A = this chain, B = another copy of it.
Amino acid sequence: MPRFAEPMARLIEELKKLPGVGGKTAQRYAFHLLRSSDEDAAALADAVRSLKASLRLCSLCNNVTDVDPCAYCASPTRNHRQVCVVEEPTNIDTIERTRAYQGVYHVLHGTLSPLHGVGPDQLRTRSLAARIEQGEVDEVILATSPTLEGEATANWLATALRKPSVKITRIATGVPAGSDIEYADEVTMSRALEGRRDL
């Protein structure tokens, strides 16, 4: 006896490919879609389809976009001489939500990770190097995560992109705002001490 009718089983299999989705969750999603209106199900199917058809990478900054150059690179109100380097397109949203940054971005689509065969050649840095080479950039902010790979990538980029006319900076590592020092691990705490500033 098959556990589910064939169309149901097929949808569950496809949903299980989503990150963090196991059998139980896929089943819940599938039964939800079954109960939802025909329009909602069709809208989801269409959205998945058109995603792949209409998105590409910005030729300037590698951000995911439906127009080239992307909204940030094309904006006349952003500071194009300040470039924030991030690992993934999603990271842009994290930075935008601060409303504290008015420059543009550059997306690496990954970090250096020799264990996974990602070396300097696999990172998408060419268009950034070209912008720096042509004297279009004053500051490069390295906003990769303070993880092993993120730090290695930042250190490598700092060397690879170094040029006297360009300031290269790194985001601060420290105790997160709103959290108790008691729960900070040793590495975070020692970085917070190292990075202390005059008041």
Interface residues of A (CB under 8 A from B): 1-8, 10-11, 13-15, 17-21, 25, 27-34, 36, 38, 40-55, 64-67, 70-72, 75, 88-90, 93, 96
B14 and A20 form a contact (CB under 8 A): no
B72 and A1 form a contact (CB under 8 A): yes
Determine the distance from Cα of A75 to Cα of B20 in the docked complex, in whole angstroms. Answer: 36
Q: A20-B28, A21-B29, A41-B51 are in contact. List 19 more A-B contacts (CB 8 A).
A: A1-B75, A1-B96, A5-B64, A5-B71, A6-B66, A7-B50, A8-B51, A8-B66, A15-B44, A15-B47, A17-B40, A17-B44, A19-B32, A30-B51, A31-B88, A41-B48, A44-B45, A45-B45, A48-B48
